[in-house]
């Protein structure tokens, strides 16, 4: 037995001590325990992000596959439910298509235990290295297709699991290098090239192809607003948010996403046909929206409209409610401000709807608690 090796496994909780140990010559970072687990697998499974980072820095093999049931570090990360660790494994080069002894990939394992956020992270991962390929001149090119300075900001857009077009435009807007028509045009073309590659490569990836195509459409739209509109990207955000008078439904956004899907250049793709079948019969303004259908297809997120998502940008974890109607939520004041120009037209209507609902349910509770049935007195709405 190798004492330092055992200690390393035991000290997986103590980053400082592990750091000291990893400095010793006789400690192997990829040592295995009796089940074939590496320290990285242990740390990933226990959700210890700092420890994972430290081990990776010391050369831990993210694709070590000696586990008795064929589990990889990425599978353990997915099981832990920690999206940051899952992302870290992917970023370190974890293979996504390896299967364990029951034939499941990391994404399938995570889905099996209900860790859907990790599934989303795995399905949407696109390594920086794959993008950086386009920042070097290929073949006879004098200039690369993608200026290297654009790779970072573009990668951030690609990695977004929130496909809400408002959020995507905000990501473009926040980076001055990207928010420029010519730069966007270059990025858009690279997205279309990657889309094509995803379809034509041996293990075809329609999901990633659709995502790349969608991003290309959003970037194209940004470029055209920058060229043609005085209000630039703010104008585009406003168009995407503007609700129709009757119920505040953002018609422009819905039509934009439907058009993106229809313009997908590979008409034989199964995913395209599925999307069109789900969206085509739905009247604009009804559920499901094109955004929800596409988000579900690309990220695997189910029922994402029910949870706490920002009305403006679609970010998860929104908590700020409109103080008047209390019917819409936002991730922050900026998003609420951005939405007010259109929300103010329906806020009152929503407020009345809510008050009516509350009054009715209060009345119902009263009747139930007093036990008196007052059907004869109930006034029915005739509208």
Shortest Å distance, C-beta 352 to Zn ion: 11
Rounded Cα distance, 41 and 185, in Å: 42
Shortest Å distance, C-beta 299 to Zn ion: 17
The reply to whether 184 sits near Zn ion by the rule CB under 5 A is no
Q: Which stretch binds Zn ion (CB under 5 A): 96-104, 106-114, 179-187, 322-330?
A: 322-330
Site string for Zn ion, 256-295 (x = CB under 5 A): ----------------------------------------
Please pick, from the candidates 324, 345, 354, 367, the single residue that binds Zn ion as defined by CB under 5 A: 324
SS3 284: strand
Q: Between residue 327 and residue 346, which ones bind Zn ion under the rule CB under 5 A?
A: 331, 335
The reply to whether 310 sits near Zn ion by the rule CB under 5 A is yes
Shortest Å distance, C-beta 331 to Zn ion: 3
CB distance 88 to 77 below 8 Å: yes
In this structure, the dihedral spanned by the alpha carbons of residues 25, 28, 34 and 36, taken in order and rounded to 10 degrees, is -170
Which is nearest to 249 in space by CA: 291, 309, 214? 291
Rounded Cα distance, 337 and 333, in Å: 6
Shortest Å distance, C-beta 248 to Zn ion: 10
Assigned token pair, 183:
């730069």
**254 vs 315, beta carbon nearer Zn ion:** 315
Q: Which helix (H) or strand (E) holds 352?
A: helix 333-370
Shortest Å distance, C-beta 8 to Zn ion: 43
The reply to whether 77 sits near Zn ion by the rule CB under 5 A is no
Size, binding site for Zn ion by CB under 5 A: 10
The reply to whether 312 sits near Zn ion by the rule CB under 5 A is yes
Which is nearest to 362 in space by CA: 347, 354, 322? 354
| CB count in 10 Å sphere of residue 379 | 5
The reply to whether 347 sits near Zn ion by the rule CB under 5 A is yes
CB distance 339 to 311 below 8 Å: yes
CB distance 248 to 327 below 8 Å: no
Please pick, from the candidates 85, 215, 313, 329, the single residue that binds Zn ion as defined by CB under 5 A: 313
Q: Which stretch binds Zn ion (CB under 5 A): 77-85, 183-191, 214-222, 347-355?
A: 347-355
Q: Which helix (H) or strand (E) holds 107?
A: helix 106-112
Positions touching Zn ion (CB under 5 A) are 310, 312-313, 315, 322, 324-325, 331, 335, 347
């Amino acid at each position: 037995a190798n004492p330092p090796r055992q200690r390393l496994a035991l000290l997986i909780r103590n980053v400082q001590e592990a750091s000291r140990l990893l400095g010793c010559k006789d400690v192997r970072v990829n040592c295995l325990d009796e089940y074939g687990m590496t320290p990285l697998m242990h740390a990933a499974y226990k959700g210890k992000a700092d420890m994972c980072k430290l081990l990776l820095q010391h050369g831990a093999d993210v694709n070590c596959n000696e586990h008795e049931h064929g589990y990889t570090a990425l599978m353990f990360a997915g099981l832990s439910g920690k999206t940051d660790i899952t992302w870290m494994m992917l970023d370190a080069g974890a293979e996504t298509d390896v299967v364990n002894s029951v034939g499941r990939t990391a994404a399938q394992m995570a889905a099996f235990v209900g860790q859907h956020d990790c599934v989303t992270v795995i399905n949407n991962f696109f390594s920086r290295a794959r993008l950086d390929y386009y920042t070097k001149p290929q073949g006879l090119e004098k200039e690369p297709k993608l200026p290297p300075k654009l790779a970072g900001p573009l990668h951030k857009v690609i990695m977004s699991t929130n496909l809400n077009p408002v959020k995507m435009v905000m990501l473009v807007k926040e980076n001055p290098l990207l928010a420029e028509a010519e730069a966007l045009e270059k990025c858009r073309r690279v997205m279309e090239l990657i889309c094509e590659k995803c379809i034509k490569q041996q293990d075809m990836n329609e999901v990633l192809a659709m995502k790349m195509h969608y991003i290309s459409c959003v970037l194209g739209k940004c470029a055209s607003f920058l060229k043609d509109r005085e209000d630039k990207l703010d104008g585009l955000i406003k168009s995407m948010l503007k609700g129709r008078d009757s119920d505040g439904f953002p018609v422009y956004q819905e039509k934009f996403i439907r058009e993106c899907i229809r313009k997908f250049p590979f008409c034989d793709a199964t995913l395209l046909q599925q999307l069109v079948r789900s969206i085509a019969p739905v009247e604009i303004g009804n559920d499901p929206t094109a955004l929800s259908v596409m988000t579900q297809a690309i990220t695997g997120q189910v029922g994402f409209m029910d949870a706490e998502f920002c009305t403006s940008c679609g970010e998860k974890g929104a908590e700020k409610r409109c103080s008047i109607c209390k019917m819409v939520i936002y991730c922050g004041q900026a998003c609420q401000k951005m939405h007010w120009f259109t929300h103010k037209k329906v806020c009152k209507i929503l407020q009345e709807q809510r008050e009516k609902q509350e009054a009715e349910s209060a009345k119902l509770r009263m009747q139930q608690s007093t036990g008196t049935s007052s059907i004869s007195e109930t006034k029915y709405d005739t509208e």
